[in-house]
Amino acid sequence: MAKVIAVCNQKGGVGKTTTSINLSACLSAAERRTLIIDMDPQSNATTGLGFDKNTIDQSIYDVLTDRADGNDCITIKTITKKCDLIKFLDIAPATPDLAGAEIELVNVIAREKKLSSAIDFVRDLYDYIIIDSPPSLGLLTVNVLTAADSVLIPIQCEYYALEGLAELLNTIRLVQKNLNSKLVIEGALLTMFDGRLNLSRQVAEDVRSCFSGRVFDVVVTRNVKLSEAPSFGKPIILYDIMSSGAENYLNLAKEIMQNEQTKSAS
């Protein structure tokens, strides 16, 4: 039964997609059956894994809006594609029309639970389902949080890192109270850390005091290879296994798997 991890932060450019792609790839490298679901209309997780969003005919948009193909409902299973580069990794891709789902679902019953219901049909097929989220707290993100067992919050070690965090935590609380009582915070992940900068160290300190005990030991350092890899359609472990980015994300996958083991042992 898959563990579903949402990668969320309504700020753009904090490392959500980079984390979704590379965490998924590293879990797959450890032979954990992994599905990455792209829930951002910008489709960066889809293109970052080498898929061309212009040639995708069925996407997560069709699943959320109950589209059919002839007599058959379009499900996550229908739209899922294998990532040929990495065994054990599948993707449920997004296309830009996903932006329209926010509006199309407005009058639909149980609109917040569309993704959650869709995931129920594939939970048994995977060990991990990682969901990349859009930079907003709208209906798509609420769907992501409602479908998830836990939420991983990437925080960029930059000015204003903590800005907007109260809003995000409030949305998480509302989802816990009204839609998904099992949702927990997996952890905050420091991203684009530069140990030479006082600012990075200060942000890390602030985040640790804000999320006492719920910050990943792994810190993702700033690494240009991580920003180059998507243009080659590859996760970092295939683009440059020797890079610090590859090491960081392999360690993140390890930390998440270890947390799982500790929990099931206790």
- Contact between 11 and Mg ion (CB under 5 A)? no
Of 4, 8, 10, 17, the one binding ligand ADP by CB under 6 A = 17
How far CA 69 is from CA of 23, 57, 66, in Å, comes to 32, 11, 10
Q: Which does 15 bind (CB under 5 to 8 A by kind): ligand ADP, Mg ion, none?
A: ligand ADP
What secondary structure does DSSP assign to 96-109, as a single string?
Answer: GGGGGHHHHTTTST
> Of 24-63, which residues contact Mg ion (CB under 5 A)?
44
Q: Which does 56 bind (CB under 5 to 8 A by kind): ligand ADP, Mg ion, none?
A: none
Of 191, 218, 237, 240, the one binding ligand ADP by CB under 6 A = 191
CB contact set of 194 (below 8 Å; sequence gap of 6+): 157, 200, 221, 222
Distance CA 70, CA 234 (A): 34
Do 130 and 20 meet the contact criterion of CB atoms below 8 Å apart?
Answer: yes
How far CA 70 is from CA of 59, 67, 74, in Å, comes to 16, 10, 10
Count of residues in contact with ligand ADP, rule CB under 6 A: 16
Of 129, 145, 226, 252, the one binding ligand ADP by CB under 6 A = 226
Burial category of 104 from C-beta neighbours within 10 Å (exposed 0-12, middle 13-18, buried 19 and up): middle
Q: Closest CB to ligand ADP among 95 and 223?
A: 223
Distance CA 18, CA 182 (A): 26
- Contact between 12 and ligand ADP (CB under 6 A)? yes
Q: Which does 100 bind (CB under 5 to 8 A by kind): Mg ion, ligand ADP, none?
A: none
- Contact between 16 and Mg ion (CB under 5 A)? yes
> Of 120-139, which residues contact ligand ADP (CB under 6 A)?
135
Residues that bind ligand ADP (CB under 6 A): 12-18, 44, 135, 191-192, 220, 222-223, 226-227
